[in-house]
A = this chain, B = another copy of it.
Amino acid sequence: MPLVNVQIIENVFTSELKQEIIQKITDTMISIEGESLREVTWVKIDEVKEGNWGIGGHPLTAADVHRMQMAEA
């Protein structure tokens, strides 16, 4: 405890970015719960295939997400 499960679409993040997600989310949790819980702080990334995740009924590809990232916030 805790387990953090990050659910994403495959091909959106590189291996380096996924490693960064694991490290930064672990550090974020530890900043709240304390360093003593580090070894029981697990972060797991689940990736679903492109086309398997729909928002409002529209399935997304990695390219769709990349276009959303390019748009101004």
Contact = CB atoms under 8 A, between A and B. Distances in A.
Interface of A: 1-9, 12-13, 15, 17-29, 31-49, 51-57, 59-60, 65, 68-73
Contacts of A34: 69, 73
Chain A interface main SS type: mixed
Nearest to A67: B36
26 contacts: A1-B8, A1-B53, A1-B55, A1-B65, A2-B7, A3-B7, A3-B44, A4-B4, A4-B7, A5-B5, A5-B6, A18-B51, A18-B59, A21-B28, A21-B29, A22-B52, A22-B54, A25-B28, A27-B57, A36-B68, A37-B69, A43-B53, A44-B53, A44-B54, A45-B48, A47-B52
